[in-house]
Every structure is written in structure tokens, then in C-alpha cells.
Structure 1
Amino acid sequence: MFYPLILILSIAYLTTPGKVDDPETWRPFDHPAVSKRVFTAYTRPVRLLSVASDVPQRVKQVHFEEGDRIPGKPGEMVVAILLDSSVEKEMLASAKIALEISRNDESRSSLAISRAETAARIAVRDLERVTGLHTKGDASDSDLDRVILAHEDARVSLEMARISKLDAAAAVRAAASEVAVIEARIDKLILRAPAGWRVEQRLSEPGAGVTPGTPLMVFADLSSFEIEIPMAEEELRVLGTTPLGIERVIGRESINGVVEFVGSVPDPSTRRRRVVIRIPAEELNLEPLETGGGIEMQVTLEVPDDSGGVRIPHRFLTRRLEQRLVKTQKGKLYVVTPVRFDDSAWIVLPGDLPGSAVLVEP
């Protein structure tokens, strides 16, 4: 599992000057202060696959080295590791022989039914003929008893042949099932990987013993990457309406990413929730030896400042002793509390300044 190193900074800064009524006035509440949240995280592949065996066995072949790309078309599963299946193959050969024997028994039972049906038809004709002769007095009672017994024997033999056919058919199904089970066991000894993925780790060699559940190879899908950032409630509230700024720290390249997932369970310590941002591989301008993972990214998000501060250019502020004052178009003076400044303006707490106030130079 990846544990991203995340640096979170909160910087209150001066907003970009917006449109004013005219060069001589200023509406401070049209220019609220915002807090720029800066997050640093490292990219990781969106999907990883660890290949392991379900059964104890020995490695026979390993087809790929670390760094290899799995060949094939998208969606295909390509053989990556072969485990020893010599015993299972012998069992499969034996099971196929047993299946062939069962099929031969089924064929013999079908022939036995044909023979029994023929005997039954002959017995029926003999019974009809002797019964007619007995009615005319041309056949004795013993002759009639003999053909009745022969007819009954033929009927029982036919029923037994039919039951034998059912048993033979069941034996064929059981043998076929045994073949399928062994083939499935052999298939489990063939470990596959998705085409197009990259071998991240090769953890086994031919001849090595395998413990069930122990990873033998790790593969990564390098078609897209993601970064994970923990965000507080106030940041999540503006996440859907405020564009994220994403850039690679080295080179300061701007990157396009999409918010893929927002967790619903907060961290028990920080109360922040996971935000996963997906970045297509095409967005990363990689050097030959770079794979896309572990790249340092910086994400910025503008959040309204909790202090309620507003931006006022220097020329609209005056000073009286330790106080900072602003003057409205109505000629009224208001005390504001300065917080920070840059070359062009102050961030101030407006105090009692009305929200509709329009300032003029004092």
C-alpha cells in the first residue's frame, strides 16, 4: 500500500483586482480575501496486481523480467508464470482414459438395449402365437407357461439394460467432471497478467517453492496515475466549484487531473477525508527512465478566508495614531483592522463597515 507524503499549506493572499465602479471608488466586499491551500503529494499507479498461487507448488517458468511490458491486446490475459503441473498432467491423462472407458461402457449398454429390445419383441410374438394355439387347443398349458415366462424374462432384461445405460451415462458424466476438475487445477497453475501492464516486481525464480497467497509477481497499469490528498470540510465544500491547480514540482508544468473519488470516512485523528485525483499518463512529460510513479505534484485550492477579510488598495486607507481608517462616499469614517499587505493593497478585517459600502480616497 502506498502512503503518500503530503504537505499542506494555507496561505491567505490578495485576490486579483476585480472590476470597480470607477477609478476613484472601491467596493471592498466585492474583493474578499481567500486562503490558498497548497498540497503536495506523489503520484502512484491507479491499479496494481499481485499474482499469487492458491496451492503449494514449485515454479517451473517465469516469462518476464522486471520492467517488461506484457505483450498482447487490451483485455487479454497473458501467461506470466508456469507452476509445476507434471503430477496433474498425469492425473489428467488417467482421467481421460477413464472417460474413454466410460464412453465405451455407455456404447455397450446401448447395444445391450438393442439386443434386449429384439429379444422382447420375439418374446411378444411367441406369446401371441402360443396364446392363439392354446385357445384352439393346439398348445398345452406348459407351452403357454413357458412363453409367458420367456416374455417376462425378456421384459426384465430390457429394463435392466435400460438401467445399465443410465448408469453408464452417469459414469461418463462423472468421468468428464473429473477431467474438468483436473484441467481447472492445471489452469490454476498457469498465472496470467493483463496485457499492457508493466512488471514492477519479480519475486520468484524457476525451482522456487510456492506458498499459497505469497506474491510471485507485481504488475502495474501505467495508463493513468493518481495522487491522494486529505481535505478538511471547508476545502471539500468548494472542491466542486473551484478549479484545482495541479503542477509538477520539477519544471512547474501544469497538469490536468480529475477528482476521481472523495472518501466518506474521515481520518479518526485529523478528521480529513481522502480525495483521489486521477492523472492520465499523457499529461506527464516523462524522461526515458521515468515511469510516472513517485512524481512530486503540488495542488492548490482557493478557499474563502475564515476571517472575513477584504482587500483594500493602499490609497483608500488612512492612518490615525494606531488606527487604520477608510472613508465611504457618504463621508463616514470606519475603523478597519489590518492583517497583511503587499505592494498594492491590504487585507483588512472590515469591522462595522457596511457590506454595501463604496470607498473613496480620504
Structure 2
Amino acid sequence: MRFFREEDEMAGRHRTHRLAWISGAGVLAAVIAVVAVFADRYQGQEEKPAPAPTEASQTQPESAMSVVLATAESRTFEDRLEVAGSVLAERFALVSARIPGTLDDIFVDEGDYVEAGKTVLFQTDSVKLKNAVEIAKEQVRVAECAVAEKQALLEKTQIALSQAKTDLERYRDLNERNAIARQAVEHQQLQVESLEAEVRHIRTLIDLAKAQLEQAKLNLRIAEKDLADSAVKAPVSGRVSQRMKEPGEMAGAGTPVVRIDDLSRLEVSVFVPAEYYERIRPGKTIMRVRVGTVDLGEVPVTYKSPVVEPKLRTFQVKALIESTPPEVVPGCLADVTLVFDARQGVGVPSKAVLDRLGRSVVFTVVDGRAKMVPVSVGWEQDGFREVLSGIAAGQPVVVMGQSMLDDGDPVRVVDNQEGDQ
């Protein structure tokens, strides 16, 4: 029984494999049939001749490209450099204390107008310096008294000397008449010589006293000068732009207390790349300046730095601006154009110039067709390109639609911009 059951199971598995093989073969045959049908249809379509062109298609006109024209015009072209600069005061002063000390008072505020040599700005240690002046005056009086004392002593000694000389002459007379001894004459001679030496000594003392008097007077002048210098006056006329200290703070040489800017003469300063150094010539190179909405016109360069700054590779250039309006003050940003050269030439809008096969061309319109014209170009500025040859002033050039044109293409002008570029 077990044998027959295993034989039946093997027969069933054989029938299952046979059915699966038959089903796969049928699917493959169906796919081959479909591919054959589509291949026949595609071959039939390829063998079908193309329809002959109709008469209407042969007579259809070429489509015209719409273009916009502009007129080449005579313009001034410049070789120039545009940079940003700053407005500065040509003359300014950072005013420091001449005499170190405590600031007694500051007499000006920011914005005040000051006059050179007249307006007192601030003062330092006035009490101490006034006392120093008084002490110096007393020293002068003491020195004067010393001179007067020595002169009085000289007069007294000269009188004694004169009396001693008179006595010496009398003693000699008496000695010749044997009225007195020789020792008395010699004693009187020594008295005269002693008084003469005393006179010379007193005169030396007088010279010393006079020198001390001059020294005392010099010390007085120094003290008075220090007192005068403690009240610092404006070195330049202008307006106080900064006040860096307040009363009670220490001030000294090299420590600014106020800054004064002379607004009557301003200058524009710019820093230019080093490669332009040889092209800028003071007195000849023109600087065109604009500050905000204020056009300051054209001024010549007045200063070029003798050196190039080694870190940034730039150098400073300045131009003096005279008669500036009140809204232009130091610190304003200036738009500066340095003009190296200028010439008159024919200009076309920059977009009209194309590069075709490594050469510059423009398109013009002749009898309804595009004409490609090779040109030589120069400088470019303000949206215009200088044309050195190929186009004359007054000729129209294509400024819109030109990138799709070829020489001889039909065109349709939809707008003609008469020099409004």
C-alpha cells in the first residue's frame, strides 16, 4: 500500500511540471507573434513615400525677425578711474596743552567758531603758575637789591681808596723832610694796594650780582610765558569739531584736548591702486567730484603721495575744493572720477556690439535685411562702446534681437530709439 501511494505522488508532481512548461511556451509564442506584427507595420510605414510638397508651401515667404534700432552718435569717451574718497579739511589742528597739568577750564564747545591767536580754548594749572610768577618777581627784586648793595660798597671802598692815596702822598712828603719814619710810608702804601684789591673784588661781585639779576629776570620771563601758555589759544581759525577732555582731567603734550577744522578750504582725498601711479600728474590730471547730490565739478589734482603704501599697494591723491556749499563738510563720502585722457568718437550702445568668430561686429539694416558690419572698438563707458571704424555717426544699429541674426536675414523694425540710450 505504501509503495502505490508514493508512486501516485511522483506521478502527480510530473504532471505539474509538464503543465508549467506548456504554459511558459505558450506565453513566449504570443510575445513573438506581437513583435512580428508591429515590425511589419513599421516596415510598411518606412516604405510608404513621403507626400510631395504642395504649391502653397513652396511659395510661403521667409519669417522676419523683429528688431529695435538705435542711432550711432558722436560722444566724448574718457580713459578714467572711478573711486570713493573722503572730504577733508585742508587745515586742522589737534590742540594739546603746552604746560602739563590739570585742566582748570575749557572755554569752547563743539561747533563753536574760534579765531586764530585770539580765542582762548582752555587753561591748565593757572594757580600754581601764577604763584611761580610771583616767586620769580621776588627773586628779581632780591637780585636788584644785591646789585645795589655791591654798588654802594664799591662807592664806599673807592672813597676810602682815594683818601688812602692822598694820605700816601702826604706821608711821602713828610718822609722826604724826615718828619715821619719810612715804615709809615710803607704801611700807607700797603693800605692803598689793599683798597685797590678790594675795589677789584667788589666790581667782580657787582658783575656776579648783575648776572644773577639777569638770571632772575629770565626766570620771571619763563614763569610768565608758562602762565601765558597755560591759557591755550586757537592756532587756526575754524570750528571746534571735537572736544576730547573735560575740566579736572590731566592734560599734557601729545594729548589733544580739542580739534579745530578750518572749513574755508576743503580737499578731497582718495587712495588709488599702485598701477596708476605714473598716470597721475599733479596739476594736469583732472578729478571730477560729487558729494551726494552736490556736483563740485572738475578740479586738478594738487597732491600725489611720493610713496606707495606697501601693504595695500595704494597711494594717496588729493585735490583742493574751493567755495564749497555748507552741506559739504569734512568726513563726507565723495564719488571721484580721475580722468586720464578724453577724446571725441562714435558711440553705440554696448549691447549692440557682438563677438562673432573672435571679432567685434554690429548689425545694421539695409533694405529690410540685416547687415553684419565688422567694427574696431575702443573705450566703454556709461553703457556706450566707442567704435573706431566700421560705423559712422547717424547710422542705425540693432540693439535688440541682434543676437539671433545672421548676415542677410530679413528683419522687421519695431522701434527706432533716436539717441535716448
TM-score (norm 2): 0.62
In structure 2, the CA distance between the partners of 1:344 and 1:65, relative to structure 1 (3 Å rule), is closer
- Which of these two proteins has the greater Rg computed from alpha carbons? 2
Is 1:129 aligned to 2:170, yes or no? yes
For 1:246, the equivalent position in structure 2 comes to 289
Q: How many angstroms does 1:295 deviate by?
A: 2.8
Which consecutive unaligned segments of at least 5 residues does structure 1 have?
1-14, 19-30, 327-333
Give 1:255 deviation, angstroms.
Answer: 3.1
> How far apart are residue 179 of structure 1 and its match?
1.6
Post-superposition CA distance 1:170-228 (Å, at most 9, x none) = 22122222222322332332222135321111222333333553221111111111111
Q: 1:40 aligns with which of 84, 89, 102?
A: 84
| d(CA) in 2 for partners of 1:136, 1:148 | 18
- Asked whether the 8 Å contact 1:134–1:140 carries over to 2, the reply is yes
1:43 CA displacement:
0.8
Once superposed, what is the RMSD of the aligned Cα atoms?
3.8
* Residues 3-35 of structure 1 deviation map (CA, whole Å, 9 limit, x = unaligned): xxxxxxxxxxxx9838xxxxxxxxxxxx9x643
Equivalent in the alignment of 2:325: 285
Q: Superposed, which structure 2 residues align to 1:111-130 within 5 Å?
A: 111-130=152-171
Give 1:272's aligned residue: 314
| 1:298-313 → structure 2 map (5 Å cutoff) | 298-303=335-340, 311=346
Unaligned 5+ runs, structure 2:
1-71, 363-372, 396-421
- Residues of 2 paired with 1:145 and 1:324: CA distance? 127
Q: How many residues align?
A: 305
Secondary structure (helix, strand or coil) at the match of 2:247 reads coil
Among 131, 137, 142, the alignment partner of 1:90 is: 131
Rounded Cα–Cα distance in structure 2 between residues aligned with 1:116 and 1:300: 88
Q: Is the counterpart of residue 17 in structure 1 residue 74 in structure 2?
A: yes
Q: Is the 8 A contact 2:287 2:301 kept in 1?
A: no
TM-score (norm 1): 0.71
Residue type of the alignment partner of 2:259: V
2:379 and 2:196 map into 1 onto residues whose CA distance is 110
CA separation in 1, counterparts of 2:120 and 2:160? Answer: 58
Separation (CA, whole Å) in 2 of partners of 1:166 and 1:94: 23
Q: Which of the pair is proportionally richer in helix?
A: 2
| 1:297 equivalent in alignment to 2:371 | no
Percent identity between the two aligned chains: 20
**CA distance in structure 2 between the aligned counterparts of 1:79 and 1:343, rounded to whole angstroms:** 53
1:51 aligned to 2:108?
A: no
Contact persistence 1:265–1:273 (CA under 8 A): yes
Equivalence map 1:118-267=2 (5 Å): 118-194=159-235, 196-210=237-251, 212-232=253-273, 233-234=275-276, 236-237=278-279, 239=281, 240-251=283-294, 253-255=295-297, 257-267=299-309
Q: Which residue of 2 aligns with 1:65?
A: 109
Matches of 1:177 and 1:348, distance apart in 2? 79
